[in-house]
Structure 1
Amino acid sequence: MALNRNGADALKFPILIGDIGGTNARFAILIDAYAEPKLFPVVQTADFPNIDEAIQADVLDKTSIQPKSAVLAVAGPIDGDEIDLTNCPWVVRPKQMIESLGIEEIIVLNDFEAQALAISSLKEGSRTQIGGGIVREGASRAVLGPGTGLGVAGLVRARNMWIPVAGEGGHVDLGPRTDRDYQIWPHLKTIEGRVSGEQVLCGRGLVNLYNAVCAVRSDESVHSTPAEITEAAVNQKDEAAVETVDLFATYLGRLAGDIALIFMARGGVFIGGGIFQRIIPILKQDHIRAAFEDKAPHSALMAEIPLYVVTEPLAALAGLAAFSRSPRFFGLETNGRRWVA
């Protein structure tokens, strides 16, 4: 059953940690509080009917270590004993997992809560700053990242603890600002008539944007996947792809500025996600920074807030590991999200 317990309760080692997105699932085991995570191969969610079989095949069948606890981050809201992923047909059933996998205790978090946990202690070499700004220690932080969907979370400091704030911020409205935007917007696919952040700023959103750019340019849409578009842009093979990636980065900077204002993130805003990491070589950082700061009447305030690209490829697992080692350092509410045998 789900327990009303505090997130500061210690977990029993070994601990299975997992970052489950719409396309990929990544797993590792923490032997104890001092060990580095033992990583396992990345799993394609489409290759398995459910998370139980993925864990069995990818982890338990490949090690003699039997996890006693599990901390899992999933891409979707957590509500009840059956947790649906937003962009994946998997349904996470912790009670069933306890019975079938022999795990004594399971905590399930939102995937961007895990990203927020990670940015509480992200090392200098795991991030790249875009533009200026100075970190105010102890101030709120925020993270967003385009992947299969668009994740957003905040991180606030209170009572000597970091407290992650999850939500569905990727589904806020995204509107046109420039003349070029007004040309492009009528060609974007909508959800019930609206363009959300996730309709543009994720994998399928990149394809949506590319098709709209091609329509405005009267070009043929020759690419059908995010990887094809980013590869064509990075290698300067396709002018429409180049413009698409530039606009994608600008719009992401614009939304990152909105998130900075919502959380008053003077500790920094962090952009994660594999898509953004792939386009770093061709990013026009001045465009991103200008879009981030263009928040009249608070442009001066925005100029003081640092913006980072997260370059650590396994940031979510790092965040889960940090929490699993020392839950008492994080004000993570686990009521309704923690199950025991």
Structure 2
Amino acid sequence: MVTTRSNATALQFPILIGDIGGTNARFAIIVDANADPKMFPIVQTADFENIDDAIQRTVLDKTSLQPKSAVLAIAGPIDGDEIDLTNCPWIVRPKVMIETLGISEIIVLNDFEAQALAISSLRDDARTQIGGGVIREGASRAVIGPGTGLGVAGLIRARNMWIPVAGEGGHVDMGPRTERDMEIWPHLKAIEGRISGEQILCGRGLMNLYQAICATKSVAPSLETPQAITEAAINRLDIEAGEAIDLFATYLGRIAGDIALVFMARGGVFIGGGIFQRLIPAIKKDHVRRAFEDKAPHTALMKEIPLYVMTEPLAALAGLATFARTPRFFGLETTGRHWIG
């Protein structure tokens, strides 16, 4: 029989950790509390029928280690025993996984909760600062990351524990501010009349922005993927792609500033996700910082808050590993998200 538990004080090793996004899935096994995670190749979710199949073929078939516990981060809200991913057809069924994969205990987190866990102890060489500001130790932090979607989470310090706060902050409304925004906005693809952050600040959002920019100039779009737009901008091969990348970065700075105010993130705001890391050679960092700070009447406050780009490519796995080794140091509520065989 599979039961649920409300909290986690210790997990049995070996522990399987997994970061499952809309496009890619990343897995590793932690053998003991002192060992570095044993990494497995990154795989695409589209190549597997479900997460059980991916774990079996990617991990269990490739090692003699049999995980006793698992901590999984998925891109989507967690509600019940059947968990849908927002941008992937997989359905995560922990009870079934326990019965079929030989794992006795499973905890499922939101993928940006894992990113939040990572920023609790991110190394200096795993982040690059944009502009000024200084981290206030013990203050709240926040993470935002464009990828298949736009993820947002906070990290609060209380009672000597870090408490991740997940949500769907990427779906907040985003409106035009400048004259150029006013020209672009009517051409953006909306969802039921709304332009949310995720409609612009993710892979398909970059396509949306690029095509809208082309429409304002009556130019036929020549680039068909976010990767093509990025490459064209970095190599200065397409004027519209260059503007799309510049505005993408500016808009991300703008919404990162909003998130900083929501969480009063004096401990810093961290930009994760692979998209922004690839854009760094092409973006104007001063534009990002200016948009981040432009929050009147709180501009002076915003100047004190540091903004970072996370350069650790597997930050979510690092956060999961930190939690899996010492769950008692984190105030992570696992009610309804913790299954035991």
TM-score band, normalised by shorter chain: over 0.9
Asked if the contact 1:117/1:322 (under 8 Å) is kept, the reply is yes
Matched, 1:102 2:84: no
> In the alignment, what sits opposite 1:308?
308
Aligned equivalents of 1:190 and 1:338: distance in 2? 36
Matched, 1:276 2:279: no
- Measured after TM superposition, the shift of residue 116 of structure 1 is 0.1
Amino acid at match of 2:132: G
Question: Runs in 1 of length 4+ with deviation above 6 angstroms?
Answer: none
- Measured after TM superposition, the shift of residue 3 of structure 1 is 2.1
Asked if the contact 1:5/1:334 (under 8 Å) is kept, the reply is yes
Q: How does 1:1-341 map to 2 (within 5 A)?
A: 1-7=2-8, 9-341=9-341
Asked if the contact 2:140/2:264 (under 8 Å) is kept, the reply is yes
Aligned equivalents of 1:6 and 1:97: distance in 2? 20
RMSD: 0.6
Map Cα deviations across residues 114-139 of structure 1 (whole Å, 9 max, x no partner): 00000000000000000000110000
Asked if the contact 2:234/2:281 (under 8 Å) is kept, the reply is yes
Q: TM-score, normalised by structure 2?
A: 0.99
Asked if the contact 1:174/1:195 (under 8 Å) is kept, the reply is yes
Map Cα deviations across residues 225-256 of structure 1 (whole Å, 9 max, x no partner): 11111011111110000000000000000000
- Measured after TM superposition, the shift of residue 272 of structure 1 is 0.5
Aligned equivalents of 1:81 and 1:4: distance in 2? 13
- Measured after TM superposition, the shift of residue 5 of structure 1 is 2.5
SS in 2 for 1:230: helix
Aligned equivalents of 2:235 and 2:3: distance in 1? 50
SS in 2 for 1:332: coil
Map Cα deviations across residues 270-290 of structure 1 (whole Å, 9 max, x no partner): 000110000111220110000
- Measured after TM superposition, the shift of residue 217 of structure 1 is 1.7
Aligned equivalents of 2:328 and 2:217: distance in 1? 55
- Measured after TM superposition, the shift of residue 336 of structure 1 is 0.4
SS in 2 for 1:281: coil
Structure 2 unaligned blocks of 5 or more: none
SS in 2 for 1:236: coil
Sequence identity percentage? 77
Aligned equivalents of 1:300 and 1:43: distance in 2? 44
Map Cα deviations across residues 52-86 of structure 1 (whole Å, 9 max, x no partner): 00000000000000000000000000000000000
- Measured after TM superposition, the shift of residue 4 of structure 1 is 3.4
Asked if the contact 2:5/2:339 (under 8 Å) is kept, the reply is no
SS in 1 for 2:89: coil
Aligned equivalents of 1:33 and 1:133: distance in 2? 34
Asked if the contact 1:130/1:307 (under 8 Å) is kept, the reply is yes
- Measured after TM superposition, the shift of residue 2 of structure 1 is 4.8
Map Cα deviations across residues 98-127 of structure 1 (whole Å, 9 max, x no partner): 011000000000000000000000000000
SS in 2 for 1:219: coil
